[in-house]
Amino acid sequence: MRDWIVQGAAWPEGLKLEPVRKETGEGPASTGTIAAAPKEVIDIRIKAVEQLIKQLEPTMKPYTDEIPGTGVKFEMVPIPGGEFVMGSPENEKGRNANEGPQHKVKIAPFWMAKTETTWNCYTLFMYKEEEKMVMKLRGFKPELNAVSDAVARPTTPYVEMSFGMGTDGFPAISMTQHAANIYCKWLTAKTGHYYRLPTEAEWEYAARAGTTTAYSFGDDPAMLDDYAWHDGNSNFKYQKVGTKKPNPWGLHDMHGNVSEWTTDQFIPDVYGTIKELVSNPFRYGKSLYPRAARGGSWMDKPEKLRSAQRIASTPDWKFQDPQLPKSIWYHTDAQFLGFRVVRPLIIPSSEEMHKYWTTEGEPD
């Protein structure tokens, strides 16, 4: 909260916050978390955040970030905060039951990667020695990796993970949700900016880009070739990112090319539990399967590329993995699957950061 004040957030006159004790006794109250604050304090905190967002959101601009010492860059696009109707109407062609009932969601502003994460970025995370070699050739000292070297890195893959479809400018694929989360943690350590996977709600909000139609360009799948790679035009492989038209907010390949991880647990009937406007929903992972992905891919028919389409991970995504136990890093059979990163406008606490990077139990 001190940071909010330093940045100019308004603070109610006469307000004094008292420390809240941590429960340490036994029984149901002993959760190891901070006890719930009084409602009036929570309301003040919410108002302070809202005031800070109001001040900072107008300053959000597109920017290019670089993985230090490597010359590898990626572009980020500002996504304005707002409300939208999540899910699909019952009469939408190709609709699945888990896309309803529709409900209103409020989303805080954030930046989202203009394209899916490419092999150019992801390979530096996968292969530590390659990252060091690139930095050495560019004359950068290893001290740049002082923080990022503490982040766990994937084991060496047992097959060539692009499966011959291309690497330079192509989307990285076949990683588990756990691997994508740890990449975000590594990228944060490298750049100093907090990156994570989008939530399901953030992803759909950004994909729709203010639209209410089946796709961000309308309801006519005949237009899909202008905006997406799918089973009818992909030549049976993924394609370079950013080669199709963007959606109204400047994001490429939100429909098709590769499906994209979100940070949520996949809960089929979760929309039915939402009775009123909900802010920034996030379903914390408690079980290995299923986890939620979005967007459809180069392997899918047009109805699978709709903005509301939800995808649930399954053990079949690593069926051919020869390792026992199976890898926590790779989905051998998910050559349709990638991800893109987001960066929230308001930097969360360290505890909140790790909440989005990790899950309870075994990683997917």
Max Cα-Cα span within the chain = 66
Span 141-151, pLDDT tens digits: 888 898 999 99
CA dihedral of 90, 96, 101, 106, whole degrees rounded to 10? -110
Contacts of 222 (CB under 8 A, 6+ apart): none
CATH of the domain spanning 66-357, picked from 3.40.50.2000, 3.90.1580.10, 1.10.3720.10, 3.40.50.300: 3.90.1580.10
- CA–CA gap between residue 166 and residue 251 (Å, rounded): 22
Query: Rounded mean pLDDT of 20-36?
Result: 36
Span 248-258, pLDDT tens digits: 999 999 999 99
Query: What's the pTM?
Result: 0.88
Q: What is the CA radius of gyration of the chain?
A: 21
Contacts of 333 (CB under 8 A, 6+ apart): 316, 317, 318, 319, 320
- Per-residue pLDDT for 345 more than 50? yes
- CA–CA gap between residue 210 and residue 207 (Å, rounded): 9
- Per-residue pLDDT for 11 more than 70? no
Q: What token pair was written down for 341?
A: 């990163």
Q: Which residues of 120-157 are buried (b: 16+ CB within 10 A; e: fewer)?
A: bbbbbbbbeeebbebbeeeebeeebbeebeebebbeee
Query: Rounded mean pLDDT of 293-297?
Result: 98
